[in-house]
Structure 1
Amino acid sequence: MADFLPISKEDMKKRGIEQLDFIYISGDAYVDHPSFGHAIITRLIESMGFTIGIIPQPNWKSKDDFMRLGKPKIAFLVSSGNIDSMVNHYTAHKKKRNTDAYSPGGKSGYRPDRAVIVYCNRLREAYKDVPIIIGGIEASLRRFAHYDYWDDKVRNSILVDSSADLLIYGMGEKPIMEILNLIQFGKNIKDIKDIRGTCYLTSDISNLKDYILLPSFEDVSKDKKKYAEAFKIQYEEQDAVKGKMLIQKHGNQYIVQNPPSLPLTQEEMDFIYSLPYTRTYHPIYKSQGGIPALKEVEFSITSHRGCFGGCSFCALNFHQGRVIQARSQESILKEAETLSKLPNFKGYIHDVGGPTANFRRPSCKKQLEHGICKNRQCLFPTPCKNLEVDHSEYLSLLRKIRKIKGIKKVFIRSGIRYDYLMLDKNEAFFDELIKHHISGQLKVAPEHICNEVLYLMGKPNRRVYDAFVKKYFEKNKKFKLNQYLVPYLMSSHPGSTLKSAIELAEYIRDMGYNPEQVQDFYPTPGSLSTTMYYTEINPLTGEKVYVPKTREEKEMQRALLQFRDPKNYELVYKALTLAGRQDLIGYGKKCLIPPKKSKIKKGR
C-alpha cells in the first residue's frame, strides 16, 4: 500500500526530505481518495518527481499552523476543499450548519468562512515572498466579480481578495502538469501567464491580443444589466476550442482569464486514476470517527467528467465543462477489481458514473473539433439534431463489472438524465438499469413540472418526465419488480411564482408522493440561475424574470411541496389564500389541506 504524503516534519524526516517543493493547504480533512481534489493534485505532482506535503484544515486563527511543514521551495497550493466553504457552512436560508461531512467525525468548525481568502492571508503573514496558487471549486467559480448570496452584493474576484499569484479554474490537472513542466525548465511561477485554465492579476494589458473586455467590477457592482452582460460573455466563451481570453478591470488592475484548458485525453484520465492512492482517510482521524464524506464514495468509481445537461442552477459548465472526458473500460475495470479486494468491501459498488451517469461520451463529434455551440444546449429546449444517443458502451462496461469475482451488485447513484434515456430507441440499458442497478428506488431530478419554470431551469418539458414515469413503472411491472421513483424537487427557483408552486403541489398530490426532502434554490457562485436571481434578468435573452426573494414567499413555496406536513399548515393556508386558490382548502379529493377549525367561545 502507498504511504500517505507528509503532514508533519516527522513525516518529512522519514522520507528524507529537508524542504518540500510544494505544500498543499486544504479546507478538507486529508482523504487520499480520487474523489477528493487534494488527493488527485498532490499525487499528480508527486508522480512528476516533485516533493509535496499537505496541511489539512489548518488552524486559521494564527499563521503558526501554516508553518508546520516549513517554507516550500516552489509554491503553496490552496483550496477550500471539495465544496465552497460558504455552501459547506450555511443552508439556503443562511442558517449555520451543524455538521461537515468533510471534517473529522462530521463536526463543523474545522475551516473558516471564505477559506481560500483566509488561508492566503495567513500564508502572506508567514511567508511574504512565496508564490501562491489557488484552485478548487471555491476559487474556480469566484474568478471574476461575482454575486455573493451571503453578503448579498457583488464581490471582487477572489484573486484580488486573496492576493494569490495564480488561479487555476476548472479541473486542475492539465494546468498543473503544464506549470510543472515550465518549472522544470527554470520558469518562476510569478512569470507564468499563458497557461490555459489559469487566471492572473496584472496592471498592464498592452501586450495582450485577441481578448474580450468584460464590464468592469465597478460597472457590474452598480448596474445589474452590466452584470448580466458580463455573465453572458463568460458563459459563451467557456469553450476550449473557440473560447477567447477574457479580461475584467478591478480598480487599477485587470483579471486576465486565459482560455479554458483542453479536455483531458482518455490516456490522461486513465493515468490520473491509476496513481497510488491509499483510498482512505489519514490515520490521525480514526479516533475521531473518521471522515463521513468517504463513506459515500469509498466504493464508487468515477467513469467520466463533464456534463452537457445544461441545467441553469448547476455551475458545472464553468468548472468541469460540457465536453465529456471518459476513462477507458480497462482503467475502470482495474479499479473495480481493486475495490473488490479491499478488506472492508461487502460486494457492492455504490456508483459508476460522473456528474450525470449516462453521459459516457461527447454529445456529438462536432464538439471535439469545432467546440461547443454558443447559442444552444445539447438537450434544451429540445434535443439537438446532432445529438448522438447511445448507451451501449456504458451498458457493456456495467455488464463487465458485474462479472468481476466478489462483486454482488453495481448501483448507479450519480444521477440518470431521463430525457436522454428516453431518446434511446434501444431500450436494453433502460431494462438492465431497472433489473440490476437500482436499490429499490431510482432517484431522478425533474426539479419542477411547471413549464415556465422548467424553461428557466434548462430542463425538459413536463411531458418528457411524464412519459418517463409511465415507462419506468411499465418496465417494473414487466420484470415483476416493485421499485419506487424518487423525484428531486426544487422550490423558489427564478421564475417560480406561488401559482407555479401550487401547480407543483397539485402534481405531488396526484402522484401520492410525500417528499421527505425538497431543495430550496440556493444562489451559489457561477450558475446561470444565480445571475437570474441577482439581476432578475435572463442574461441569455435579456428577458425580465420574476424572482421569489422574500423569506416569507420562499418559506411558502417550500411548504407547498410538503403540504401534508402539519407544521406547514399555516404557510400553505396563507399561500393558497394569497393565490386565490381556496378551492384547494377543504375535504375533497383535490384539496391540499382541510379548512381551519372554528373556535367555539367558552360558555356556549
Structure 2
Amino acid sequence: MKAFENVHAEKCNFARKSSNLSQYLNKTDSSGWLPTSAKEMKALGWDAPDVILFTGDAYVDHPSFGAAVIGRILEAAGLRVAVVPQPNWTDDLRDFKKLGEPRLFFGVTAGNMDSMVNHYTANRRRRSNDAYTPGGRAGARPDYASVVYSNILKKLYPEVPVVLGGIEASLRRLSHYDYWSDKLKPGILEESGADLLFYGMAEKSISEFARLVQRGVPVQSLTNIPQTAFILPSGENYATKSDWEALDLNAHEACLTDKKKFAANFRYIEEESNRWQAKKLIQQIGNRQIVVNPPWPPLSTKEIDQVYDLLFTRLPHPRYNGKGAIPAYEMIRHSINIHRGCFGGCSFCTISAHQGKFVVSRSEKSVMKEVEAVVNMPDFKGNISDVGGPSANMYRMAGKDLELCRQCKRPSCIYPSVCKNLETDHRPLTGLYQRVAGFSGVKKAFIGSGIRYDLAFHETGDAKKDEGNLEYLREVIRHHVSGRLKVAPEHTSDEVLNVMRKPSFELFRRLTAFFHTVNRKEGLNQQLIPYFISSHPGSSLEAMAELAAETKDLDFKLEQVQDFTPTPMTVATVIYYSGYHPYTLEKVFVPRTEKEKLAQRKFFFWYKKEYRNSLKQELQRLNRPDLEKRLFDAQPLPSGKKREQPKRRKPSKKRR
C-alpha cells in the first residue's frame, strides 16, 4: 500500500490546509475530477493517459463508487488516470476511441452492481430505471457489461492489456449459475478475453499491479499477485508463490453434466475466499485453466484510512449538471462508511464473497475527518443519513486471538452460534455515534445500515460488555432512528433460517419487545420495519403461511419484502441451481416456477382483500385450519381495548 503515500503534492497540501472544502466542492469545472474527455485531458496538459477506466456507472468521485476509488489509488501511485463512464456500445464505438490508447492498460468494471441485477427483477422483468445513471434513466449499460466492454476493447486495441474488476467480475470468476440466461457459465475470463481479473476489494492488488507494469513487467508474467485470477493453457508453467498450496476444483465441463459436482465446488470456493491463509484454486475449462490466487490478508486500519483519506470531491462529475440526480449517489451523499466486510455469512448475500469475512474498521480520526468534509458540503442541512457499513454494528469487531482467525475457515463468525473468539463489544461504536452526533453542524446522525441484533443480544459472560451491547440498542433507538428502524429477520421458520444462516426468529421477538419498551419509556412514536424474503431455498408454502401468521401476531403488515433472486457466488444460488446444499450435498427443496413464487409472495400480503380467497384455498389444501383461523379470524385484544399507541414527545435538544 506504499503507493497511497505518493498522492500528488498539490492535492495533499490542499487537503491538509483546508478545513472547509465548500469552495472546492462548489466548482463547476472538471479540474477536481479525473478527466473523462480529450478536452479535459488537454486542459491538464496530457498527451495520453497511463490508464483508462471504463465503468457501467456514472462517474461519481466518492469513496462508495468503485471506479472512483481505483482511479484515485492509481492517481496516488503517480499515474495519469482517465475515466470513461457508461460508454455507448451500440454506435460506432466513439466512446471507446475518444481517449486513444493508454500507455499501460485498460481497466473495466460493470459498476457497483452486477449488470444483470441492475437490469432485471427477481421475475426476470426488465427494470425501468437505473439508480447509477443521471435521472435514473435505464439503458445506459449493456447486459453483462464487463464482457461487452472487454470484448470491444480487445477488438479495437488487441495489444493493450485489459483488466477486470468490480462486483460483476469478482463474483463470476469461476463457474457460476447465471439466473437470467438460466445457464451455468464459465469463469468470466473465458468470455471476456481479459488478461487479468481483480476480485474483491482490489486496492492492494491494483497497487501492486501498477507498480510492476510501470517497471515494464509484461502483464502475462504477473501471475503471482494475491487476489487476482488469470486464464492460461493447461500445463503451461507460470510464476507463483512457493508457499501457496493448490486446490483443484471440478472442471467446468464436469459441472455442466453433474450439478452435484458444481455444488461440491462451492464449499471450497467460499472457504478459501474467506480464509486468512488460503489456497489458490484451479479449475479446468476445455484445454485451459483458470487460476484464482489467494486473497491478501485483511487491510489494517492504517491502510483503509489511507483509502478514505484520498481527496475525493464526493460529487458527481460536472458533465452531469442539468441531467438529473443520480439516485444511488443521493442515497449516500451525506453518509459515512465506517468499516468494510461482514462475518455474517448469510447464504443469499454476496458481501463476504466480495468484501471478505474479516471486518476492517477505520480509525475514529479518519471517520471524523470525513464527517467534517460532509458538514462542509454546500447542500448539507445537518442530517447524516448513515453512519454504518455492510452491517451497521460490526465496527472494530475482530478475533480476540488473531492466530485462531488465521486458521479459521468458518464462513460465518456468528452462525450457527457466535464464535467464542469474536469480540462483540459495542461500546466503541456507541462512543463513535455520540462523537459524530455531537460534531458541530450535525443535527442528527442516523443509522441506515442494517443492524445485527443477534450481536447486540449475544451474552458474552462479561456483565459490563453485555450491558454495553444493550445500551448500544437503546442509543440507536433513542437518537439515531429517522422514525423507522429497519432490520432483517428474513424469515420465521427455523428450518429456512438454518439454510439462510440467520438466527432464530425468537431473537426478533425479543427485539420487538425491547424496541417498544424503549419507545414507551422515551415517549417516541417510531416503527420497527422488518425485511423478509420469499421463495428462498428451503422455504415451503407452509413455511410462508406460518410467516404470515407469526408476523400478524406481532401486529406487522409487511412492506419491505422481496422474492429471492439468485446471484452468482452465494450458497443459496448454488442450492437454487443444483438442488444440493454445498456443505452437506443433501437435497434441499427449492421453489422455482413463477407460480410457486407468486403463491409464496401472496402470504406477505394476507391483509389484502384480493388475496383472501386464494390464500384460504391454499391453507385448506395444506390442511392448516389453524393458520386460516390465525390469519383471517378477528383477533380482538383482551377486554376489547384498542392497541395502545405511544405518545409523541417533542424532540429532545441535541446532546453535546
- TM (norm. structure 2) is 0.88
Q: Specify every segment of 5 or more residues in structure 1 that has no aligned partner in the other structure, as ranges.
A: 592-604
How far the C-alpha of 1:196 sits from its partner, in A, is 0.5
Partner of 2:443: 408
How far the C-alpha of 1:161 sits from its partner, in A, is 0.3
Q: Structure 2 matches for 1:473-492, cutoff 5 A?
A: 473-492=516-535
Percent of residue pairs bearing the same amino acid type: 45
How far the C-alpha of 1:9 sits from its partner, in A, is 0.6
Partner of 1:521: 564
Using a 3 Å threshold, how does the CA distance of structure 1 residues 368 and 293 change in structure 2: closer, same or farther? farther
How far the C-alpha of 1:187 sits from its partner, in A, is 1.3
Contact 1:170 / 1:318 at 8 angstroms: preserved in 2?
A: yes
Contact 2:357 / 2:412 at 8 angstroms: preserved in 1?
A: no
Out of 433, 452, 459, the residue aligned to residue 495 of structure 2 is 452
Question: Do structure 1's residue 154 and structure 2's residue 187 form an aligned pair?
Answer: no
Partner of 2:575: 532
Out of 421, 425, 435, the residue aligned to residue 467 of structure 2 is 425
Partner of 2:624: 581
Partner of 1:357: 392
- Between stretches 108-117 and 257-266, larger displacement belongs to 257-266
Partner of 2:112: 82
How far the C-alpha of 1:5 sits from its partner, in A, is 1.0
Contact 1:4 / 1:32 at 8 angstroms: preserved in 2?
A: yes
Contact 2:205 / 2:225 at 8 angstroms: preserved in 1?
A: yes
How far the C-alpha of 1:461 sits from its partner, in A, is 1.2
Return the alpha-carbon distance in structure 1 between the equivalents of residues 134 and 62 of structure 2. 16
Using a 3 Å threshold, how does the CA distance of structure 1 residues 205 and 304 change in structure 2: closer, same or farther? farther
Partner of 2:249: 214
Question: Do structure 1's residue 503 and structure 2's residue 546 form an aligned pair?
Answer: yes
Which residue identity is paired with 2:190? V
Return the alpha-carbon distance in structure 1 between the equivalents of residues 484 and 386 of structure 2. 14
SS at match of 1:255: strand
1:297-349 CA distances to partner (integer Å, 9 max, x unpaired)?
00001101000111111012211111011111000001101111111000001
Contact 1:308 / 1:363 at 8 angstroms: preserved in 2?
A: no
Count of paired positions: 591
1:411-443 CA distances to partner (integer Å, 9 max, x unpaired)?
001111010011233232122111111111100
SS at match of 1:55: strand
Return the alpha-carbon distance in structure 1 between the equivalents of residues 411 and 441 of structure 2. 45
How far the C-alpha of 1:94 sits from its partner, in A, is 0.3
Which residue identity is paired with 1:173? E
Partner of 2:202: 172
Return the alpha-carbon distance in structure 2 between the equivalents of residues 188 and 206 of structure 1. 16
Return the alpha-carbon distance in structure 1 between the equivalents of residues 595 and 451 of structure 2. 33
Contact 2:275 / 2:409 at 8 angstroms: preserved in 1?
A: no
SS at match of 1:237: helix
SS at match of 2:264: helix
Partner of 1:568: 611
1:92-141 CA distances to partner (integer Å, 9 max, x unpaired)?
00000001010110010000000000001111121111100000000000
Q: Structure 2 matches for 1:184-583, cutoff 5 A?
A: 184-205=214-235, 207=237, 210-367=245-402, 370-371=405-406, 373-375=408-410, 377-423=412-458, 424-426=466-468, 427-569=470-612, 571-582=614-625
Using a 3 Å threshold, how does the CA distance of structure 1 residues 232 and 584 change in structure 2: closer, same or farther? closer
SS at match of 2:108: strand
1:172-228 CA distances to partner (integer Å, 9 max, x unpaired)?
101011111212332122321111010000114464672011000001111111001
Contact 1:363 / 1:378 at 8 angstroms: preserved in 2?
A: no
Partner of 1:595: none
SS at match of 1:116: helix
Return the alpha-carbon distance in structure 1 between the equivalents of residues 107 and 403 of structure 2. 31
Using a 3 Å threshold, how does the CA distance of structure 1 residues 476 and 590 change in structure 2: closer, same or farther? closer
Partner of 2:59: 30
Contact 1:246 / 1:257 at 8 angstroms: preserved in 2?
A: yes
Using a 3 Å threshold, how does the CA distance of structure 1 residues 431 and 517 change in structure 2: closer, same or farther? closer
How far the C-alpha of 1:379 sits from its partner, in A, is 1.1
Return the alpha-carbon distance in structure 2 between the equivalents of residues 466 and 583 of structure 1. 21
Which residue identity is paired with 2:425? D
1:280-312 CA distances to partner (integer Å, 9 max, x unpaired)?
111222222131111100000110100011111
How far the C-alpha of 1:242 sits from its partner, in A, is 2.0
SS at match of 2:316: coil
SS at match of 1:23: strand
- TM (norm. structure 1) is 0.95
Contact 1:146 / 1:525 at 8 angstroms: preserved in 2?
A: yes
SS at match of 1:287: coil
1:462-504 CA distances to partner (integer Å, 9 max, x unpaired)?
2122112212211222222221100001101000001100000
Question: Do structure 1's residue 19 and structure 2's residue 48 form an aligned pair?
Answer: yes
Q: Specify every segment of 5 or more residues in structure 2 that has no aligned partner in the other structure, as ranges.
A: 1-23, 25-30, 459-465, 637-656
- Between stretches 170-179 and 424-433, larger displacement belongs to 424-433
Contact 2:189 / 2:230 at 8 angstroms: preserved in 1?
A: yes
Which residue identity is paired with 1:384? C
Using a 3 Å threshold, how does the CA distance of structure 1 residues 172 and 567 change in structure 2: closer, same or farther? farther
SS at match of 1:180: helix
SS at match of 1:202: strand
SS at match of 2:289: strand
